[in-house]
Structure 1
Amino acid sequence: MADRMRNGTGAPVTLVTGGSSGIGLEAVRRLLEAGHMVAMTGRDEKKLAAAVEELEAGEHVLALPGDAADWAAVSHAVAETVRVFGRLDNAVANAGFAVPGSVETADPDDMRAMVLTNVLGPTLLVKAALPELRRTQGRIVLVGSVAGFKNTAGNLYSVTKWAVTALAENTRMLVTGEGVGVTLLAPGRVLTPFWDDRPGGAAAAGPMLTPDQIADAIVWAVSQPEGVDVNTLVIRPIGQPN
């Protein structure tokens, strides 16, 4: 019971996967600024701890190390969020990554890891979070990609994001009658470490959004009034044609 007193003010509680860097970290930061209590997950425990230290949010933030594609870790993250903060109002499935190469050239083990993180990961979060979100009439945000709407030759990352696009709609159909909202957020090019291994890096790719701009969209999505469900947000930088 003492842990639950962290949220004695009744602030909204949000869980963000992949919260230790990039869009995830900025989403945590923006949510904290908006008055949320935030639980954040990440595979790298040291990196996650460093992110929490950087945020300087005290008992308003909870670090939960674990793999987004591991059911035990995901279900524990949801349970621990509720134990510590007393409830769960929003679940943000942000964890994901891309591997270099195409379906022809990429390493099969790398491809497997990407599919598990990008597709199974958000699915597991939906499964784990839904019982709590039904209680709070909460919201799910799935971070997809423009790549989930536009095909690219041989791009398995794009395939995984098409799967997230489908997951968002079939989850919405499953839970909208129970008062749970579902938003697919599909960014275009965003200036994150995603580009570090690409030829020429971010500079060669073209105009970029910043992680905080996507984080602002996440906060906006979960801040909609009761009865309003924003289902799909596609956000590109001006100058990105595809």
Structure 2
Amino acid sequence: MNNVWFITGSSRGLGRSLTEAVLAQGGRVAATARRPEQLADLVAQYGSQVLPLALDVTDHAQIAAAVAAAVAHFGRLDVVVNNAGFGITGAAEAYTEEQVRSQLETNLYAPIAVTRAVLPYLRRQGSGHILQISSIGGRVGNAGVSIYQAAKFGLSGFSEALAKEVASLGIRVTAVEPGGFRTDWAGASMAYAPTIDGYELVNQRAEYFASGNFVPLGDPAKAAQAMIDLVQHPHPPVHLVLGSEAAAFLRQADADRRAEFEQWLPVTLSTDHDEAENFFATEVGKLYQVKPQNQQAAE
């Protein structure tokens, strides 16, 4: 593997595991971090394979400079990984304005900004793969992480739309949506809103994370290898869920959403204009009809 990777938040957590795995397999990495000196051991081991770059992902000028430096150094970018981010736990009304702003700036606005910065280079190349490190929390909502998940839902939605927008340009986009992995997400990287009485479930979750007793199921080294394999695949998914816990959450959420949708479908359909033809009866709408599973199997 000789791809050039651009990885944000590469000094710790999943970003560090991915950076190490890519370098170990012969890839080249523009490794960004707020403190690039934390990457000194990788520079000592891998030399010119790795380019450490200082980057605060909330600083748009730094983003542009880091992307330009990476292209100038390596000549191209093949895989861009928006990994930098952090979690926060608390009740929605309890977060400070700064906490809300920081979450959205780091976990949503920043990956959008990095994506927009790299797209001109990838478009001119006619190739590239953008991996957005979202979360199963970008597909399934849970009490206590509403602001974090607002950012991740936004990132997964942005990625899905972007994938359709740039497919004809030879650029692929995947929202990677992990469950809990054994990084410092729930440890040193976790922030907390002030506690408010009455939110028992939220407060219990915050206490659990802060206790250090939360041991996730996911292995970051295996997640890193899954992403390396992913970029070699000729038909990568737009969404890649990682971890059995995440798979269980998503399967249940999809079933719940489907049941709720069907229950309220009469109300949904009742709001068309009287003079409008039901969309499902149109030629385009017929493409959106879902066949029963037994009919699909028969075909």
Same fold (TM over 0.5): yes
Q: Show CA shifts across 1:12-58 (max 9, x none).
A: 11100111100001111111122211011112x2xx32233146211
Q: Show CA shifts across 1:124-163 (max 9, x none).
A: 1110111222215111000000001111135111111100
C-alpha spacing 1:136/1:89, structure 2 compared with 1 (3 Å):
farther
Range with bigger deviation, 186-195 or 103-112: 103-112
Distance apart, 1:105 and its partner CA: 1.2
Match of 1:63 in 2: 52
Query: Which of 6, 9, 13 matches 1:22?
Result: 13
Instruction: Please tell me whether the aligned partners of residues 207 and 240 of structure 1 are also in contact (alpha carbons under 8 angstroms).
Output: no
Instruction: Please tell me whether the aligned partners of residues 4 and 29 of structure 2 are also in contact (alpha carbons under 8 angstroms).
Output: yes
Alpha-carbon distance in structure 2 between the residues aligned to 1:238 and 1:152: 14
Structure 1-normalised TM-score? 0.87
* Corresponding letter in the other structure for 1:148: G
Match of 2:37 in 1: 49
SS class of match (1:62): strand
* Corresponding letter in the other structure for 2:27: H
Alignment pair present for 1:208 and 2:217:
yes
Aligned residues: CA RMSD: 2.1
Instruction: Please tell me whether the aligned partners of residues 182 and 220 of structure 2 are also in contact (alpha carbons under 8 angstroms).
Output: yes
SS class of match (2:181): coil
Alpha-carbon distance in structure 2 between the residues aligned to 1:237 and 1:105: 31
Match of 1:144 in 2: 134
Q: How does 1:58-97 map to 2 (within 5 A)?
A: 58-97=47-86
Alpha-carbon distance in structure 1 between the residues aligned to 2:247 and 2:229: 23
Unpaired runs of 5+ in structure 2? 191-205, 250-299
Instruction: Please tell me whether the aligned partners of residues 129 and 172 of structure 2 are also in contact (alpha carbons under 8 angstroms).
Output: yes
Alpha-carbon distance in structure 2 between the residues aligned to 1:116 and 1:183: 21
Alpha-carbon distance in structure 1 between the residues aligned to 2:91 and 2:48: 43
Alpha-carbon distance in structure 2 between the residues aligned to 1:159 and 1:35: 36
Match of 1:6 in 2: none
C-alpha spacing 1:182/1:195, structure 2 compared with 1 (3 Å):
same
Match of 1:235 in 2: 242
SS class of match (1:199): helix
Structure 2-normalised TM-score? 0.71
Which structure has the higher relative contact order (CA within 8 Å, separation 6+)? 1
* Corresponding letter in the other structure for 1:35: G
Unpaired runs of 5+ in structure 1? 1-9
* Corresponding letter in the other structure for 2:166: V
- Give the % identical residues: 30
* Corresponding letter in the other structure for 2:113: L
Alignment pair present for 1:221 and 2:230:
yes
Instruction: Please tell me whether the aligned partners of residues 87 and 186 of structure 2 are also in contact (alpha carbons under 8 angstroms).
Output: no
* Corresponding letter in the other structure for 1:151: G
Alignment pair present for 1:35 and 2:26:
yes
Instruction: Please tell me whether the aligned partners of residues 182 and 215 of structure 2 are also in contact (alpha carbons under 8 angstroms).
Output: no
Alpha-carbon distance in structure 2 between the residues aligned to 1:220 and 1:203: 32
Match of 2:115 in 1: 126
SS class of match (1:193): coil
* Corresponding letter in the other structure for 2:58: A
C-alpha spacing 1:27/1:160, structure 2 compared with 1 (3 Å):
same
Instruction: Please tell me whether the aligned partners of residues 39 and 63 of structure 1 are also in contact (alpha carbons under 8 angstroms).
Output: yes
Distance apart, 1:203 and its partner CA: 5.8
Match of 2:260 in 1: none
* Corresponding letter in the other structure for 1:34: Q
Alpha-carbon distance in structure 1 between the residues aligned to 2:221 and 2:76: 26
Between structure 1 and structure 2, the one with the greater Rg is 2
C-alpha spacing 1:52/1:126, structure 2 compared with 1 (3 Å):
same
Instruction: Please tell me whether the aligned partners of residues 21 and 51 of structure 1 are also in contact (alpha carbons under 8 angstroms).
Output: no
Alpha-carbon distance in structure 2 between the residues aligned to 1:184 and 1:52: 29
Match of 2:179 in 1: 188
Alpha-carbon distance in structure 2 between the residues aligned to 1:207 and 1:100: 16
Instruction: Please tell me whether the aligned partners of residues 126 and 169 of structure 2 are also in contact (alpha carbons under 8 angstroms).
Output: no
* Corresponding letter in the other structure for 1:70: D
Distance apart, 1:230 and its partner CA: 2.4
